[in-house]
Amino acid sequence: MTMKKNLLLIMPLLWMSGCSDEQEASAPSSNAFQSFEEREQTGALEEAKEVEQILQQGVDRNQQIIEEQSK
């Protein structure tokens, strides 16, 4: 009897794992189950992009000033 109970508990788990989509499993996760390290890295990348944008604005401003002074 216990063997049948074990099978009844295990079978639904096997069915669910067997029916998962491979593309879904290999796709990068962007959901609530994302690991702390992934969220930290994503945050660091976003901050780096913001800093890059600020630096580029400064370079553009400096280049504009140089062009104006050389006229």
Contacts for 29 with CB less than 8 Å, ≥ 6 apart: 38
pLDDT attached to residue 24: 52
Q: How far apart are CA 5 and CA 11, in angstroms?
A: 10
pLDDT attached to residue 48: 94
Inter-residue contact 29 to 38 (CB < 8 Å): yes
Tens of pLDDT, residue by residue over 21-40, are 555 555 555 566 678 888 88
Distances (CA, A) of 16 to 10, 11, 12, 19, 21: 10, 9, 6, 5, 10
pTM passes above 0.85: no
